Amino acid sequence: MYDVVVIGQGLSGMLAAIWARGEGKRTAMIMSGAGKIMQSTGVLDLIPGSRGTLDEWMKQYPFHSENKADVLQAVAKFKALTRELGYPYNGDVREPVPVVTGSGHIKETALYPDTVTPVPDRGHAVVVGFQELPDFQPLFISKNLQKERPLMTVDAIRIPLGEDSQRVLTQLDAARLLDQKEVRARCLRRISGQLADKGISQADFFVFPSSLGNEAWAQTLKQFSEGLGARVTEAPGMPPNATAIRLNDRLKLKAIRSGVRLYADTTVTGADIEKNHIRSVRVRMANRATDVAGRQFVLATGGILGGGLEVTPDGIRETALHLNTDGDGRPMNPPDNLFLAGASGGRQLTRHGIVGGVYSLVSSYASVFGLRKTVAGGMAK
C-alpha cells in the first residue's frame, strides 16, 4: 500500500512523485514507455505557441487570483529542485523572455536551463550548425533570426562535428559527441577557422543546436563561451533536444535515488473504484498483471499526445482509469482521492497540443501540496 501512486512519467508525473516522496510519502510511479518530455524542448512556457503574461496565463488556466503566490512558490520549488539536480533553471514567470528556436524564430518562455540564453535585441550573432545534423540548418536559422531581430547582425557557419563525418546525427547524438573534450576542442578550432575563412568579425552571441553536451553540458558551456569570448545559447527545436533529455534523465534519477518505487514498462489498465474512491489500480507489465493499492493517486498520463486521452470516432476517451469525461476529455466527477496533473485534465487545457511546462509544474505542485483555493484539486492533509 502506497501513500501516493503517480500514473505517468512525463514532467508532471516525475515532479509529483519527487515532491510527494520529499514529503515522506511512500510513493510509486507507474510508467509505460517514456514521457513526452523526451520530445519536448526543455524550456517551460506559459501559454504554448503564443506570448502572454502570467495574469493572462492564470485566466486561461483555471486558477484564482489568490493562487499567484502558490504559483510563484511552485516555481521557486522547481528551480530549487533543478539546482539540486545540478541542472539549474533560470527565469521568472512574471517576465517571460525571448529565446531563439531551431527554426530561427523567436518564442517566449518562462523557465530555461543554464544552456539557454535569452536572445538580445542587437549585437552580432553567429549561428553554428553541424554538417551531420539535418535538423538544424544554420543559414535558414540565421535568416529567420535576422528577420526577427532587424537590429542584429547575424551570420551562419557550418562545421563537421565528427572526424570523418558520414552518419546523420540527431541533436542528442551530437550532444553525446560533445561530451568528449577532444571533440569540443576540435569543434572550437573549426569554428575559429570558419570565422576566419569567411571574414566574420568577433561576435558576442553564438547560437548552437540543442546539443551542448549531455553529461558534460557545464564544461561544454564554459569551454565554448570562454573559447569564443561570447555568450552562448542552445536553440531547441526538432526532437530530441539535449535541453529536455538532461532534465528528464536527472528527474528520473532523482526519483529513483529518493526512493520512489518505479514500475517501468507498466501500463495502468483500470481501477478498483468504490464509492468514488480509488482503492487500487490495475497494471499490466510485460508478462503479468497485478494491482497497485494506494491512498492517493495522481493522474499524470498526459493528453492526446501523451496517450492519457485517446481520440476515438465516438469522442475522447480517458485510457488509464476509464473515467467518464466530457467532450474535451476532462474527467467528470473524478474519484475523491484522484488528482490531475499536467495534460491529463482535458483538451481545454492544451494549446497547440500541449499544456506548457509551467502548467505541468504548477499542477504537479498542486496535486502534492494543494493550492490555497483550489479548482484543480489538491492533496489536503
Partner 1 sequence: MKKALETEVAVIGGGVTGTGILRDLALRGIKAVLVEQGDLGHGTSTRNHGLLHSGCRYAVRDPEAAVESYQENLILKRTIPGSIEQTGGLFVKVPGDDDAYVRRWLDSCGKLGIPVGEIPLEQAFREEPYLTKEAQAVYQVPDGTIDDFTLLIDVAADAVAHGAALLTYHEVTGIMTEQNHVSGIHVRDTRNGEEQDIYAPIVINAAGPWGMNIAKMAGVPLRIINNKGMLVVFSHRFNKRVINRLRMPGDGDIFVPAHDVTIFGTTGKNTDDPNDFSLNREEMEQMLTTGADLIPEIHQMRLIRAYSGSRPLYQKTAGKGSSGRDVTRGMALLDHGERDGLDGLITITGGKLTTFRLMAERTVDLVCKKLGSDAQCTTREAALPSRKSTDSFSGANLAPAARHKLMNWAGVRTPEFETSLKDREAANVVCECEQVTWAEIDAAIPGDGHLDLGDIRRRTRLGMGPCQGTFCNFRTAALAVEHGKAGTREADCALMRGVKERRKGMGVVATGETAKQLQLMQTIYQVSLGFGNEEEKQHV
Residue 361 or 368: the one with the smaller Cβ distance to partner 1 is 361
Instruction: Round to whole Å and give the CA distance between 97 and 291.
Output: 45
139 contact choice in ligand FAD, partner 1, none (CB below 5 to 8 Å, kind-dependent): partner 1
| Cα angle 57, 59, 61; round to 5 | 70
Q: Would you say the C-alpha torsion 103, 106, 111, 113 has a positive or negative sign? A: positive
Helices (H), the chain: 11-22, 54-60, 68-84, 138-148, 171-178, 181-197, 217-228, 242-257, 357-369
Closest approach, Cβ 5 to partner 1, in A, equals 25
Residue 74 or 100: the one with the smaller Cβ distance to partner 1 is 100
135 contact choice in partner 1, ligand FAD, none (CB below 5 to 8 Å, kind-dependent): partner 1
- Looking at beta carbons, which pairs linking 352-356 to residues 24 or more positions away fall under 8 Å? 352/48, 352/49, 353/48, 353/303, 353/304, 353/305, 354/36, 354/40, 354/48, 354/303, 354/305, 355/48, 355/303, 356/44, 356/45, 356/46, 356/47, 356/48
Closest approach, Cβ 303 to ligand FAD, in A, equals 7
Query: Which range, of 26-34, 98-106, 194-202, 321-329, touches partner 1 by CB under 8 A?
Result: 98-106
300 contact choice in partner 1, ligand FAD, none (CB below 5 to 8 Å, kind-dependent): ligand FAD
Closest approach, Cβ 72 to ligand FAD, in A, equals 17
Closest approach, Cβ 174 to ligand FAD, in A, equals 18
- Paired with 234 in beta bridges are 208
Residue 8 phi/psi, 5-degree rounding, is: 110, 145
Name residues contacting partner 1, limited to 50-69 (CB under 8 A): 50-51
Binding status of residue 37 toward partner 1 by CB under 8 A: no
Binding status of residue 101 toward partner 1 by CB under 8 A: yes
DSSP string, 304-318: TTTTSEEEETTEEEE
Closest approach, Cβ 44 to partner 1, in A, equals 12
User: Is the CB of residue 244 less than 8 Å from the CB of residue 42?
Assistant: yes
Binding status of residue 35 toward ligand FAD by CB under 6 A: yes
Instruction: Round to whole Å and give the CA distance between 378 and 368.
Output: 6
Binding flags for ligand FAD, 286-305, as an x/- string (CB under 6 A): --------------xxx--x
Binding status of residue 39 toward ligand FAD by CB under 6 A: yes
Binding status of residue 357 toward ligand FAD by CB under 6 A: yes
User: Is the CB of residue 121 less than 8 Å from the CB of residue 111?
Assistant: no
Among 72, 85, 139, 230, binds partner 1 (CB under 8 A): 139
Instruction: Round to whole Å and give the CA distance between 89 and 112.
Output: 5
Residue 12 or 67: the one with the smaller Cβ distance to ligand FAD is 12
Binding status of residue 91 toward partner 1 by CB under 8 A: no
Instruction: Round to whole Å and give the CA distance between 174 and 185.
Output: 14
Binding status of residue 211 toward partner 1 by CB under 8 A: no
Binding status of residue 39 toward partner 1 by CB under 8 A: yes
User: Is the CB of residue 375 less than 8 Å from the CB of residue 334?
Assistant: no
Binding status of residue 345 toward ligand FAD by CB under 6 A: no
Share of the chain residues as helix, strand and coil, in percent rounded to the nearest 5: 35, 25, 40
User: Is the CB of residue 245 less than 8 Å from the CB of residue 172?
Assistant: yes
Residue with grid cell 475522447, as numbered in its chain? 316
Binding flags for ligand FAD, 236-255, as an x/- string (CB under 6 A): ---x----------------
Binding flags for partner 1, 317-356, as an x/- string (CB under 8 A): ----------------------------------xxxx--
Task: Catalog residues that contact partner 1 under the rule CB under 8 A.
Answer: 39-41, 45, 48-51, 101-107, 131, 134-135, 137-141, 143-144, 147, 158, 165-166, 168, 236-239, 241, 303-305, 307, 310-313, 351-354
Binding residues for ligand FAD (CB under 6 A): 7-13, 30-33, 35-37, 39-41, 43-45, 48, 239, 267-268, 300-302, 305-308, 319-320, 342-343, 354-357, 360
